[in-house]
């Protein structure tokens, strides 16, 4: 495992590269974390997923977006535009470090939305794996605000959605709010991925709509619904490490081609 700062020297991002265990791999996988409290919740799961993929002879790269984790910047300066550019930078970094042509991207929650955004504009992705993706940014924001307000004894209560400077304990800006609100995976066209896998731990109408959307697109789309709870909206578990297994194994399997 190599830990280092990469991208623009003025605002470097922290990246962690996991080489294939055998020393040789033909696939590379970029992991895109979720955001806000879900980033902290999934850190352990992402480390384990990176280990599983590395054992399956993949080059793996995970990184912190601008203003999150160990990367440079403050959360109040973050934007969806900036995070999308970070996905592109990390993709290029993985391409350089792995010297592999086929790169897959795995994103969880809003990280899945960012990966999809990046694939629409800039990247040619082999497999795009969306783990419980945020499909509607507006719904996601509403969920976060509801979760925030359900813990109003520890977080400032939000009454005006437009004037939020702090969400779930993290700095939050109007720009970020607007850009999240405008994110809508169903309206995105032209993803440049060979195959898209939707891995979901819950049954949602918007996931069924996604499947319906892709029947009209020239991209292979598979939906895998798993019986493993992630409880993204649980007020009690908002800061607890997410301990999952089925989801991670399924992602490993669809990436490494062991998908049955």
Identity of the residue, 23 or 218, whose beta carbon is nearer to other proteins in the bound complex: 23
Q: Are 185 and 113 in contact (CB under 8 A)?
A: yes
Q: How far is the CB of 197 from other proteins (least distance, A)?
A: 26
**How many C-beta neighbours within 10 Å does residue 159 have?**
9
The two structure tokens encoding residue 84: 């999308």
Round to whole Å and give the CA distance between 225 and 208. 11
Contacts of 129 (CB under 8 A, 6+ apart): 104, 105, 106, 107, 196, 197, 199, 251, 254, 255
Asked if 235 touches other proteins (CB under 8 A), the answer is: no
Q: How far is the CB of 236 from other proteins (least distance, A)?
A: 11
Asked if 146 touches other proteins (CB under 8 A), the answer is: no
Identity of the residue, 138 or 151, whose beta carbon is nearer to other proteins in the bound complex: 151
Q: How far is the CB of 155 from other proteins (least distance, A)?
A: 6
Asked if 89 touches other proteins (CB under 8 A), the answer is: no
Question: Can you tell me which of 239, 245, 246, 258 binds other proteins, judged by CB under 8 A?
Answer: 239
Round to whole Å and give the CA distance between 2 and 27. 18
**How many C-beta neighbours within 10 Å does residue 160 have?**
6
Asked if 4 touches other proteins (CB under 8 A), the answer is: yes
Round to whole Å and give the CA distance between 19 and 176. 34
The two structure tokens encoding residue 167: 């969400």
Q: Which of 56, 73, 61 is nearest to 12 (CA)?
A: 73
Asked if 170 touches other proteins (CB under 8 A), the answer is: yes
Q: Which of 134, 118, 125 is nearest to 200 (CA)?
A: 134
Q: Which stretch binds other proteins (CB under 8 A): 40-48, 52-60, 102-110, 137-145?
A: 40-48
Asked if 166 touches other proteins (CB under 8 A), the answer is: yes
Give the three-class secondary structure for 116. Answer: helix
Q: Which stretch binds other proteins (CB under 8 A): 38-46, 79-87, 91-99, 217-225?
A: 38-46
Asked if 3 touches other proteins (CB under 8 A), the answer is: yes
Q: Interface residues for other proteins in 59-78 (CB under 8 A)?
A: 68-70, 72, 74-75
Question: Can you tell me which of 8, 44, 101, 186 binds other proteins, judged by CB under 8 A?
Answer: 44
Asked if 19 touches other proteins (CB under 8 A), the answer is: no
At residue 9, φ and ψ (nearest 5 deg) are: -70, -20
Asked if 48 touches other proteins (CB under 8 A), the answer is: no
**How many C-beta neighbours within 10 Å does residue 241 have?**
12
Task: Provide the binding-site residues for other proteins, judged by CB under 8 A.
Answer: 1, 3-5, 12, 14, 16, 40, 43-44, 47, 68-70, 72, 74-75, 151, 154-156, 165-166, 169-171, 239, 241
């Amino acid at each position: 495992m190599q830990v280092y700062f990469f991208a623009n020297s003025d605002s470097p991002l922290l990246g962690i590269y996991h080489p294939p265990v055998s020393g040789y791999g033909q696939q590379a996988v970029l992991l895109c974390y979720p955001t806000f409290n879900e980033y902290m919740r999934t850190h352990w799961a992402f480390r384990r997923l990176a280990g599983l993929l590395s054992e399956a002879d993949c080059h793996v790269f995970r990184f912190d977006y601008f203003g999150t984790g160990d990367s440079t910047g403050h959360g109040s300066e973050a934007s969806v535009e900036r995070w999308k550019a970070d996905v592109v930078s990390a993709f290029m970094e993985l391409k350089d470090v792995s010297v592999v042509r086929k790169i897959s991207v795995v994103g969880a929650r809003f990280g899945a939305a960012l990966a999809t955004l990046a694939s629409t504009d800039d990247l040619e992705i082999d497999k795009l794996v969306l783990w419980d993706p945020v499909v509607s940014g507006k719904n996601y924001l509403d969920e976060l605000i509801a979760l925030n307000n359900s813990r109003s004894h520890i977080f400032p209560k939000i009454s005006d959605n437009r004037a939020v400077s702090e969400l779930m304990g993290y700095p939050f800006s109007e720009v970020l709010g607007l850009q999240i609100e405008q994110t809508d995976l169903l309206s995105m066209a032209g993803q440049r991925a060979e195959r898209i896998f939707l891995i979901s731990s819950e049954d949602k109408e918007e996931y069924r709509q996604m499947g319906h959307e892709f029947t009209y697109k020239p991209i292979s789309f598979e939906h895998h619904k798993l019986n493993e709870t992630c409880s993204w909206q649980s007020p009690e578990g908002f800061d607890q490490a997410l301990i999952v297994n089925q989801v991670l194994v399924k992602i490993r399997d669809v990436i490494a081609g062991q998908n049955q």
